[in-house]
């Protein structure tokens, strides 16, 4: 154990000496430069520092924009359940309900959906016969394909998928043909 401590201490001393030697050699180089060369070197350092700062500003601005764009993602995901319930209610009222009730619920549903769309929510357009893509779809199950052209493709859509901006916040749940 003592041997390991001695080795670590000697490594730390070597690193400190290297850093000191580098600083000393840089001072020696600076001392031997002419005023024009020194000015050129300082100008180069200034330009590099300015470029780094500009890159920093661009990066932080981009990060800030992404933060604001996806800040309401959690709220959007929680609202998707309500949106699904509205869709199921519309189907049931359409089957055996009053047309006036259907019209009222459709109006509320459209207002709700429009507000979510204004905030960046987009519905994924998925239909039977589309190719299965793991980046946008989640396969719930596989069934024997009803026809040869549906093998490896989407047979049915169980749950609609949504994106917020360019980011998938809920994958479309689908049944694929085997």
Q: How far is CA 24 from CA 18, 35, 116, in A?
A: 10, 19, 62
Which DSSP symbol is given to 120? T
Q: Determine the pLDDT at residue 9.
A: 57
Question: Contact at 8 Å (CB) between 144 and 174?
Answer: no
pLDDT in tens, 107-136: 999 999 999 999 889 999 998 888 898 999
What is the rounded CA–CA span in Å between residue 34 and residue 42?
Answer: 12
Average pLDDT, the chain: 84
Q: Determine the pLDDT at residue 99.
A: 87
Per the listing, tokens 């190719």 go with 131
Pairing of strands 137-143, 121-123: unpaired
Pairing of strands 172-177, 137-143: parallel
Residues 47-67, mean pLDDT to the nearest whole number: 93
Is the dihedral angle over the CA atoms 102, 107, 109, 110 positive or is it negative?
A: positive
pLDDT in tens, 129-175: 888 989 999 999 999 888 888 888 999 999 999 999 888 999 999 99
pTM: 0.61
């Amino acid at each position: 154990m003592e041997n390991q401590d001695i080795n670590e201490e000697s490594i730390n001393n070597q690193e400190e000496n290297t850093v000191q030697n580098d600083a000393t050699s840089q001072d020696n180089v600076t001392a031997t430069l002419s005023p024009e060369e020194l000015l050129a070197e300082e100008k180069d350092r200034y330009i590099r520092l300015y470029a780094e700062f500009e890159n920093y500003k661009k990066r932080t601005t981009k990060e800030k924009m992404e933060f604001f764009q996806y800040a309401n993602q959690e709220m959007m995901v929680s609202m998707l359940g309500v949106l699904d319930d509205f869709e199921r209610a519309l189907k049931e009222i359409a089957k055996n309900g009053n047309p006036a009730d259907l019209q009222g619920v459709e109006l509320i549903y459209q207002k709700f959906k429009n507000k979510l769309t204004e905030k960046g929510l987009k519905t994924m357009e998925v239909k039977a016969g589309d190719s299965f893509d793991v980046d946008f779809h989640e396969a719930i199950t596989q069934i024997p394909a009803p026809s040869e052209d549906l093998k490896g493709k989407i047979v049915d859509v169980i749950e609609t998928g949504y994106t917020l901006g360019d980011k998938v916040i809920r994958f479309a749940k689908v049944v694929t043909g085997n």
